[in-house]
Amino acid sequence: MTSAVAYKPRTLQLLLAWCAIAVMIAEFVLIPMRSRVWFPTWPGTINTFAWWASGSVIVWVLIPTLIMRRDGPLPFSVAPPRDARGMTLYGALIALMIPALLLASRRADFLVTYPLLQLAPGTAYTYSVLASYWLCYATILFSTEFFFRGVLLFGLESRLQGLAVGVSVLPYCLIHAHKPMPEAFGSIVAGYVLGTLALKTRSIGGGVLVHCAVAIGMDTLALIGRGAWPMH
């Protein structure tokens, strides 16, 4: 079990400054709706997600880790909780999300937005394409959880205790502002729930599993709803 670390004020100042910079980089450089400006030949290809995934590892994992390691080891685990209670909580959370996903899948904006990998016209989704895409997507989600439910949350915990959850939600919901409205507002709820569970379990692993399960579930429902689920 990891324990809280009392980070120096300068380390936290650097972390918060990087948080602001990282949000802007993620929104204006990495996400597909922006990266097409920099790489106009990439839309409709897996390149957009490979770029997003690679950048996410740098922005949300590597640089924040370097900042936090100034004061010692990271105070959280990336593995799923090992105790039955922790896994039960995350399993129940996934179960609760199923009805919400089914309702959301009926919305027109949902079918337009998902899957996030929008292939070029005339190109069919295949299992190999989806596997590559979901590998990139899982990397992006892990990196996001690592920063918001890991580095930022546990970094602020020593100063703010439980209030760190609410502070970490503020920038997290901003990176969902371009998503469909129910999902954007849902990110606030998810931020509080996953943040609270992360502090209780001292791990981000369960949150990564929930995030990946929900994301792949949304893509699957959207593909089925659009009649685009691969046949081979």
Cβ pair 223, 115 in contact under 8 A: yes
d(CA 30, CA 184): 18
At 1 the pLDDT is 53
Residues 19/23/29/30 CA torsion (nearest 10 deg)? 100
Residue 202 lies in a domain: yes
At 83 the pLDDT is 80
- List, as one string, the DSSP characters of 47-76: HHHHHHHHHHIIIIIIHHHHHHGGGSS-SS
Residues 133/101/22/163 CA torsion (nearest 10 deg)? -150
Residue 110 lies in a domain: yes
Residue 2 lies in a domain: no
Mean pLDDT, residues 37-46: 90
Tens of pLDDT, residue by residue over 153-196, are 999 998 999 899 999 999 999 999 888 788 889 899 999 999 99
Cβ pair 68, 11 in contact under 8 A: yes
- Give residue 94's domain range: 9-225
Residue 98 lies in a domain: yes
Choose among 21, 8, 16, 3: nearest CA to 70.
8
Cβ pair 53, 136 in contact under 8 A: yes
d(CA 61, CA 183): 24
Residue 230 lies in a domain: no
d(CA 32, CA 182): 20
Residue 232 lies in a domain: no
150 token code pair: 């890991």
Tens of pLDDT, residue by residue over 104-140, are 888 887 888 889 898 888 888 999 999 999 999 999 9
Choose among 117, 131, 122: nearest CA to 44.
117
Residue 115 lies in a domain: yes
DSSP state of 173: H
Domain total for the chain?
Answer: 1
At 188 the pLDDT is 94
At 101 the pLDDT is 86
Residue 3 lies in a domain: no
